[in-house]
Chains A and B, each alone.
Chain A
Amino acid sequence: IWGSHICRVRGLSSSSGPRVCIVGGGPAGFYTAQQLLKARQDAAVDIYERLPVPFGLVRFGVAPDHPEVKNVINTFTQTAQHERCSFHGNVNVGKDVTIDELRQAYHAVVLSYGAEGNRSMGIPGEDLPGVFSAKDFVGWYNGLPSNKELHPDLSFETAVILGQGNVALDVARILLAPVEMLKETDITQNALEALAGSKVRRVLIVGRRGPLQIACTIKELREMVNLPNTRADMLPADFEGIAEALKDLPRPRKRLTELMMKAVKEGGDDKAEKCWGLRFFRSPVEVLAGADEKRAAGIRLALNKLEGSGESVRAEVTGQLEDVDCGLIISSIGYKSIPIDPAVPFDPRRAIVPNEMGRVQDTAGLYCSGWVKRGPTGVIATTMNDSFDTARVLIQDMEAGKLDLSVNKPGAQAITALLQTRGVRMVLFSQWEKINAEEEKRGKSLGKAREKLLDVDEMLCRAK
């Protein structure tokens, strides 16, 4: 408001306010947009998303049996429908349009494209059939187009998950949940059918360090403990010394640890058909192939001991090894951002865009928010606060004159024209709403919340 007032007083030719471009249509992108629109009544915000459909990990990451977590979509929808906001789907930034072209068309560009890559275990046998990244497995049951041909083989009794964060627990829960719990959700039909025919009965969730370092949160652990027809299969030896440490723990860690201890003690219904267990102090060193050498049949784990204390507890090798027979191995050790454009600085060690409070290093007018800024950890609320922070910093820069708002920027007009000459078919929000309606309609006939379209071409077809 201050900027446009000055413009009117001086008679400068800025016929509109600041134009901001956001790359990425997930929670980070939408929350950054929301805050910008609220803080500046003259700002116009355009969101560019690679897929024809918005919402990023809220759509493709949050588990199908956690529909309340997806309520944020209502807020994002309001943002997208705001008169000063426009969503452009099916635009691949870095390929269809460059960051430099966006920076020319907008006063500021915010990178919110998250982490589409995967941390690899870096062990022999990792590429054998039967080994999947949690990112791909979750993408498979959540309908991410690039994972629709995953076809995980669920005909083995034991599955081993490496990593003990919320993603690992989601995967374990989806593998062991009774089909009744899933059949009315938005899980894809082919995943539902595969899980209905699954022979997986035992899931081990393996972590490098000890119970006090487990990365999941209590809600997800409680869901495992309460999962019908399953029992907990823990190793009491893994919990030595934990009871004594309880009293000094901060509340969240204390409650989480108490729940684990309860699961160790009570175990659960012996008659339960399925079981799950946490395994600590173990790191994967090799995926073992079966006799035919054609697929994974087991995993070799190195036993660790802990050194150090507090936040800096480290796992150190002891030299002991343990082999676990299993036919399904899921590596859930972290997502990873990848560089989007050579014009954007990227830190390959930390796999983020180097930045100071959201201002991209050495690049005026370029900002970042969400996982690409801080790394791929945290829940939606974490990303929300982070995105609000970036938006505030951007607004500050506008008001301090660090961004030259007196220059007229063409914004979406120029980019849309450019994309048209390149044969790119943009999907506007109103067109996503047609895809949305189709998914809900298909879901209804199957008794589900929605049946997601799995194919980008089909999405584009429905968007017409």
Chain B
Amino acid sequence: MAAFTAVRAAVSFTQRFVRVSRDCSVCPLYRLNVCTGAAVDGFSAPNRRLPKRAGWVDLLLYSRVNVVFIDRSGQRIPVKARVGDNALHLAHKHGIELEGACEASLACSTCHVYVSSEHYEKLPEPEEREDDMLDMAPMLQENSRLSCQIILTPELDGMELTLPKVTRNFYVDGHVPKPH
């Protein structure tokens, strides 16, 4: 509830602020990374997914993104997030067991998740470096992504991120070792 109130206050602030200065870099919404760029007519919207002439109601609806994490035991953990949030950081904030060993630098695969299929389509294509790291993740599936590369947008509302059940005795490429 507090988030909604805050958004409403922020929106009316922005509408007044923009009449004084159109410089995004001094606006608190931009600096807090909650700017959706659609507050006022005539603003160029940095987030192209929003309608250009959105009003404060749309902002209220669009800035909140609901995500469900499904942990390794199958437990569903619904989480309230915001547009622009990083899925791995979100997981850490809520105590979800995603290690993120390399701290989101595309040098490991420990933040591997399965994305609900209807939302998987809405994610931007992985860059080559992410695909290279995904190749190392055990139990890779069609809907696998590295959660450190998932940035929340309004159309990802309702997305479910499932943690792979990591089994014992697995190897990077599924190889079973031969005794030597």
Contacts and interface: CB of A to CB of B under 8 A. Distances in A.
B171 A350 contact: no
A378 B171 CA distance: 7
Contacts of B140: 251-252
Interface residues of A, number: 35
B36 interface: no
A161 B157 CA distance: 51
Interface string A214-225: 000111001000
Interface stretch (B13-21, B39-47, B130-138): B130-138
A217 B135 contact: yes
Contacts of A72: 101-102
A385 interface: yes
Interface in B132-180: 132-133, 135-136, 138, 140, 166, 168-180
Interface stretch (A42-50, A63-71, A171-179): A63-71
A172 B107 CA distance: 19
Contacts of B132: 217-219, 222, 255
Interface size class of B (residues with CB under 8 A): 20 to 34
A382 interface: yes
A379 B108 contact: yes
B105 interface: yes
A252 B99 contact: no
Contacts of A311: 175-176
Nearest to B144: A251
A252 to B, nearest CB: 4
Nearest to B169: A374
A342 interface: no
B91 interface: no
A228 interface: no
Interface string A191-222: 00000000000000000000000000111001
Interface in A366-420: 374-375, 377-382, 384-386, 388-389
Contacts of A349: 179-180
B177 to A, nearest CB: 6
B63 interface: no
A379 B180 CA distance: 20
Interface of B: 99, 101-103, 105-110, 128-129, 131-133, 135-136, 138, 140, 166, 168-180
